[in-house]
A and B are shown apart, each in its own frame.
Chain A
Amino acid sequence: MTGLLDNVLGGLALGAVYALVALGFVVIFKASGVLNFAHGSLLLFGGYLIAVLHDDLGFAGALALSVLTTAALAGALDRFLLQRGGQDAHSAHVQTIVTIGIDIVLLTDLARRIGGDLLSLGDPWGDAVTELGPVTVADSRLAAIVVSAVVIGGVFALFRFTSWGLSLRAAAEDLEAAALMGVRLGRVRAGAWCLAGALAALAAVFLAAFPAPGLERTTGQIALNAFPAAILGGLASPAGALAGSLVIGLTEALVVGYQSELHVLGEGFGDVAPYAVMLLVLLVRPTGLFGAKGAARV
């Protein structure tokens, strides 16, 4: 029983971090129809900035600067590189491929800088743990759950209650109509990219924090685990991204936790499980859990 609680809590925490990444995928897709394959390297970029700055600025200062810089980088990439390609469904495909190129360039440079090092981000939680009844959970993971909940709530409020959120939703519904109604598509898009960049930098903190040993050159690849989460939720649905992330986080933790009972499936099934779940869900609901409206755009 303790084992189950342990795994469930671990899975929820993992899901909360994935949600930050998956929400980035979704916001970008909603605003621009682009699947951002450079998201992992943006995350690594944010993490790397915190790692090099935290000695001088302290953790909070480094985090703030990194979130702003990563947001600015993501926004600039969209504004000055991707938006030149135009704003229709066809050019969105081209831009998706451009993001693969951006990913390679960013990742190569960051990997060169990081080398084989394990960088500490100087987060305040260290290796502290909290006993919750029979289970022990790392403070950094509790922080991940709390921070993710607050930030995701904030993003949802942004969608619902601000004029930018309204413009974004309008643009996602119908680009041309939104443009005719006076929505500045370029700005709305760039804003979405900035938001996704900020979320990525924040996720880097929790992916590098305690149960993991620190930021590595491969940390960005973990963002790929959030990819099935975003797809599974329905790519254009923020609520779906959240639900999908929790499902994927729980699946991963439970499959690895019960690996010996699941031996028939072969060892290392934990790596495949998120994708297996994604396929199963897509078989039943081809548009994802919450993705009914986005179907036409894919």
Chain B
Amino acid sequence: MNTTHRNRHRTAQAVLVGALALLLAATGCSSKAESGDKSDKAADGLRTGPGVGADTIRLGALTDLTGPYATLGKSIVQAQQMWADEVNADGGICDRKVEIVVKDHGYDVQKAVTAYADIAPDVVALPQVIGSPVVAALLDDIERDKMLTFPQAWAASLLGKDAIQVLGTTYDVDMIAAVDFLTRTKGLKKGDTIGHVYFEGDYGANALEGSQWAAGKAGLKVTGQKIKATDTDLSAQVSALRKEGVKAVLISAGPAQTASLVGVAASRGLKVPVVSSAPGFAPQLMKTPAAPALAAMLNIVSAAPAVSSDLPGVRRMVASYQKKYPKSPVDSGVLSGYNAAQLMGADLKKACEAGGLTREDVVEAHRAQTNADTGLGTPQNFSDVDRPASVETYVLKPDAKAVGGVVNAEDAHAAEGVEEYLSAQ
């Protein structure tokens, strides 16, 4: 009897504590939201909004530092922090220091939504959001808040949104370029079959759309193999592809899958060219047993040049990055993160010159850029929300000795058929 009494007492206490906590959380939220929404005039006559104070501009990053894309996340965070430090050492933007608020979501959509709600009132734009599912979940919020966002995802389904900017090419355009590369340089001809191994979800689906369209045009047949992120032994897929008699293989998956596919194919005597989407390669692969096979068979289609490329902008960035973070590998994430930050910086400068740094001003300044060139790849045109910002792709190939594990094989160019594909969309 006595014990149940005590238990009841405890329950009452717990409920009280819980209610108090809720109350605190609720009031905390509302006070934040109030300070966020209005646009004011700063002392220097500039229109300002959320994230812009008298002497700071705050940007946000929703990244993955503990999930499957932790390596990519770390590279981008460090590259963008390096950019912010450089800009601040140079006097900042609009006489304000740039700060980046980084939130880790570990590739968990629920955590990402909470993190967005947490930082949204205090930042003007998001130069980094990792993960297609994360971006998909935040689409409505981002559009409502008019928060200029550069997702680190390249599915064509993200086009057509005013505040969201996919940088470079989309996955379908990359795969059209891949098929073009195969027919142009690897001797594929009408009637041949190519395999396409792809992840389930937006990434794979969009890539497959591109390869099927391009293959149809070139008279090739595509045989698809859908896989999951946890599939790391592609022996059975290789057997199936060999049975189909494929003359080449496209892969739109992660680095582990690329390594397995190429390694197994080589060991089974299926020595055909393999072309990967950009996220399918990481420099770490050149330390796996599959490295020789990768060097012999793999090419990568990418909107960004190799980190080892001799573009002056890229070389300067790589040198500063290696100096600042001597222990971190320089991978494609560093390049894309730094590029995104520079483009964001250019938008902010432009908006500042036009007299305002509200979110609407930043989006407007961004959409006015028709030839944004950071010197880190091809120029981009942000004026048409329905079109990829660029249609030019590089072809890269693995090289264990190069910085970032890849070198340029072909310079940037628009593949044949891309324009026709885009106008048919």
Contact surface of A with B, Cβ cutoff 8 Å:
3, 6-7, 10, 14, 108, 111-112, 115-118, 120, 126-129, 136, 138, 207, 210-214, 216-219, 221-222, 252-253, 256-260, 267-268, 270-271
Contact = CB atoms under 8 A, between A and B. Distances in A.
Contact of A127 (B242, B263, B282): B263
A222 B231 CA distance: 8
B232 A213 contact: yes
A214 B232 CA distance: 9
A270 B240 CA distance: 12
A116 B68 contact: yes
Contact of A111 (B66, B236, B263, B266): B66
Interface in B9-42: none
Given A116-B282, A268-B227, A10 B70 contact: no
B112 interface: no
A211 B234 contact: yes
15 contacts: A115-B70, A116-B70, A116-B284, A118-B256, A127-B263, A129-B268, A210-B289, A211-B263, A213-B232, A213-B285, A213-B288, A213-B290, A216-B232, A270-B236, A271-B228
Contact of B239 (A6, A111, A207): A6
A211 B70 CA distance: 24
A259 B226 CA distance: 10
A129 to B, nearest CB: 4
A49 to B, nearest CB: 19
B242 A3 contact: yes
B395 interface: no
Given A136-B269, A211-B260, A213-B285, A218 B255 contact: no
A256 B268 CA distance: 17
Contacts of A127: 263, 266-267, 289-290, 293
Contact of B200 (A6, A136, A268): A268
B288 A211 contact: no
Nearest to B225: A259
Given A108-B66, A126-B289, A128-B267, 8 more contacts: A14-B233, A211-B260, A212-B232, A213-B255, A216-B232, A222-B232, A267-B226, A271-B231
A256 B236 contact: yes
B348 interface: no
Q: 6 closest pairs, A vs B, by CB?
A: A116-B71, A213-B259, A256-B236, A267-B226, A127-B289, A268-B226
Given A127-B290, A210-B263, A218 B71 contact: no
Interface of B: 66-72, 74, 200, 223-237, 239-240, 242-244, 255-256, 259-260, 263-264, 266-269, 282, 284-285, 287-290, 293
A222 B230 contact: yes
A115 B240 contact: no
B240 A218 contact: no
Contacts of B74: 115
Contacts of B282: 116, 118
A19 to B, nearest CB: 16
A212 B285 CA distance: 12
B370 to A, nearest CB: 36
Contacts of A258: 240
Contacts of B67: 111
A121 B266 CA distance: 21
A268 B228 contact: yes
Nearest to A111: B66
Contact of B68 (A214, A218, A222, A271): A218
A295 to B, nearest CB: 32
A219 B260 CA distance: 14
A221 B228 CA distance: 12
Given A221-B230, A260-B223, A267-B224, A10 B284 contact: no
A3 B256 CA distance: 24
A288 B69 CA distance: 39
A217 B223 CA distance: 30
A221 B266 CA distance: 27
A234 B242 CA distance: 36
A82 B227 CA distance: 37
Contacts of A118: 255-256, 259, 282, 284-285, 287-288
A108 B65 CA distance: 12
A150 to B, nearest CB: 22
A6 B268 CA distance: 10
Contacts of A218: 68, 229-230, 232
A112 B66 CA distance: 6
B240 A217 contact: no
Contacts of B260: 211-213
A250 to B, nearest CB: 11
Nearest to B289: A127
Which residue, A6, A7, A211, A253, has most C-beta atoms of chain B within 10 A? A211
Contacts of B266: 127
Contacts of A136: 267-269
Contacts of A214: 256, 259, 288
A216 B289 contact: no
Nearest to A117: B284
Given A111-B66, A116-B68, A218-B230, A257 B239 contact: yes
A264 B62 CA distance: 40
Contacts of B243: 3, 257
A257 B240 contact: yes
B232 A219 contact: yes
Nearest to A270: B236
Given A118-B284, A127-B293, A213 B237 contact: no
A216 B226 CA distance: 20
Nearest to B208: A267
B35 to A, nearest CB: 35
Nearest to B65: A115
Nearest to B291: A127
